[in-house]
Amino acid sequence: MCTNIVYEWLKTLQLPQYAESFVDNGYDDLEVCKQIGDPDLDAIGVAVPHHRRRIHEAVRRLKEADETAAGLYFTLE
């Protein structure tokens, strides 16, 4: 399997075993991963409750990082 951002993300969550299933189900980009919900985790095959919580928490952090970045503005003069 090739290394991609989703694999690296899952590796940091200590869940790299799901990387192939994520990619096979179309979750090959973190932007797409931000939309993951319980039905998606079911389809991907994440059944362990602790793993599901870890992924949900990581998705929440990804969304919060986007909101923080969206609030930053600068101008070039």
DSSP output for 9-72: HHHHTT-GGGHHHHHHTT--SHHHHTT--HHHHHHHT---HHHHHHHHHHHHHHHHHHHHHHT-
pTM of the complete model? 0.81
Q: Residue 1: what pLDDT?
A: 44
Domains of the chain: 5-73 (1.10.150.50)
Give pLDDT tens digits along the chain (77 positions). Answer: 445 899 999 999 999 999 999 999 999 999 999 999 999 999 999 999 999 999 999 999 999 887 776 665 555 65
